Structure 1
Amino acid sequence: MNIREVGAEFTRREIMPHLDQWEDDGRLPRELHLAAAKQGLLGVGFPEEVGGQGGDLIDTTDLQEGMFEAGASSGLMSALFTHGIALPHIVSTGLATGNTDLVDRFVRPTLAGEMIGSLGVTEPGGGSDVAGIRTTARRDGDHYVINGAKTYITSGTRADFVTTAVRTGEAGAHGLSLIVVEAGTPGFTVDRSLRKMGWHCSDTAELSYVDVRVPAANLVGEENAGFYYIAEQFVVERIALAVHAYGIAGRALELTAQWCRDRETFGKPLIRNQTVQHTLVEMRRQVEVARTYAREVARRHVAGENVIAEACLAKQTACDAATYVVDKAVQLHGGAGYMHGTEVERHYRDARLLPIGGGATEVLADLAAKLLGYTR
């Protein structure tokens, strides 16, 4: 089987029988990470020399598409693959410098399903403005002392470590660093688990750092280079969220088309109505446009092209498609689509976060305008 088929089969076997329960629980079991690692899924897109399976963004896109096609939710994918935003900075700096201490301590166990990592960037006072981070890390001998707070942290309540963005220098982008903070470190606490409109099976935390002493060895790469490390991963994160968007849209479309074939109204299948047919066609058009464009941007990124602006556009295109498609899916399901626990209802809730996460649509449109030369 290819990677898409492996992901789909894993989803049907290990995820779909339990997803409703995990939604109610508000979290995924750690055993799922172990199972995904055993199947070779967690390491896709990570180099073999750090414990990964190899491959690139195209491979991770194929894997995610297969899982979405089989029914995986956006919330589940965010929780199971949070290491996709927690580890890349550690991997890239470790390979570049030859210092593999953090790789050995955090990357390998995470890709083996033995640890869970998360990324701590967003703060109570701001989200998309990464350069405005206020959490501080003051050097004190062989340690950093961290003070501040993070919020909306995906997998934060289950995480064994948080790759945390902190201010170690001057104001603005050039004074930020990344430091790995381990769960259980004195002063580092999960203040609360946050309840959300969607992504119910993806635990989300509010974190507090009060005089947290972390070994200086936990610094990721160079001091004050954190903004660059974070920005370097933005393209991949935004394409991944585009895959989430058109992935759940495609699944919602297939569920809806089947529902319209099976559902009878006024003595005939719902799908026999021309207005329903046209709606399904439009849903399909938007899914295919979003998929084709996002995959092309992914291909260009893998080829080494600068596609920062295009990744913003791909994410917005896919999010717009998802917003339209899941809304029509609920509408065509009628009352059944509005019932909690139905799959299209879950996708409807989950889709609402996607234009916000990874950079709000309005912020990314502003960035794209600057990059494309449309500001003067």
Structure 2
Amino acid sequence: MGHAGRAHALLSASGAHRWLVCTPSAKLEEQFPDSTSEAAREGTLAHELAELKVRHYFYTTDFGKRKYTTCVNKLKKDELWKDEMERYTDEYLEYLKVTALNLTSAPYVAIEQKLDLSVWIPEGFGTADCVMVYGNTVHVFDFKYGKGVHVDAEQNPQVMLYALGAYNTYKMLYPITNIQMTIIQPRIDHVSEWSCSREELLDFGEEVKEKAALAIEGKGEYHPDEKACRFCRAKAQCRARSDYNVKKAFDIGELPPLISVEEAGKRLLELQDVVKYQKDLQEWALSECLAGKEVPGWKAVEGRSTRDWTNMDDAFEKLISTGVSPEEMLYEKKPLTLAQVEKMVGKKEFQEAVGEFIEKRPGKPTLVKESDKREAITNRVTAEQAFKEEN
């Protein structure tokens, strides 16, 4: 427990996607405070609940019903608690249970296991949500409560680092040759699995060791990248990112009057971080203005004002007393959306009760990178479709 108060390594496993690509960024970030968001705190609370459930299931003797209930009730007093956390953490636990029950023998299970990574990263360590070891296989599970971005397990540096730590911890006790990694994101119904051999994992470890040696000293080259920069604390002031985006936005040279689709594809890839960088830069410049500093050419002003009730119930009572009809003037009868009803009832119960009344309409076409796993769509008519229409 105590997820929120844990120490974080300079070269953390969760930030590996950044410092493995842009090695000097880890040291650069040290100048900036490590802030947290409500979403991050909510995720921490969900992780604590998930840990309790997994510990109660696999180690019932040591962590029985009374201890479990007491700890859960304590979490429920948190201002960020939401009842839906119960359902999503149940889905995570169910995946672990099914995995364990499908094995030929009971696995060794480590929960919230702190893993030593110092063989590859100076003073490095990480904490895996769950590790199972059985026979020649080590299985690392990573529970993610976020709902913004699908995270895949294939070649995922964070989970691979956990796997390295797990292998190093248990290699003397088990003849580990196979590595299984799973990322579970129940809020977006996403589970990603990937496996590799011990040799592939150790090769990755050697690459990490080389990059970590540079990163711990703040050496190497800056490599601004949409994914690497997303959560970097230095992203607004980083000169390398600034120069990179300014060049992409303005260094276009002499070009023909019309661009081709090939050029459009290349431009979209090159410019994808420019808008995000502008937003980050604006937020930082605004914070500087509000702190009393001058940003040449810019100033902070009060935005468009909004109005709200200080006491809506009292206000409505007074309006009703003047003759205003509450049914016609003050309230609007409006059903909840499908997603809101499902959230309130529960996914499984919702499907069983009203699944027959639901149709899934295709989403609005959107442009994504070619690496996206979704199937491509087109307005072109295929020969098969044309033949059907003729008949």
Larger strand share, 1 or 2: 1
Specify if TM > 0.5.
no
Which one has a bigger Cα radius of gyration? 2
Larger helix share, 1 or 2: 1
Using structure 1 for the length normalisation, give the TM-score. Answer: 0.26
Using structure 2 for the length normalisation, give the TM-score. Answer: 0.26
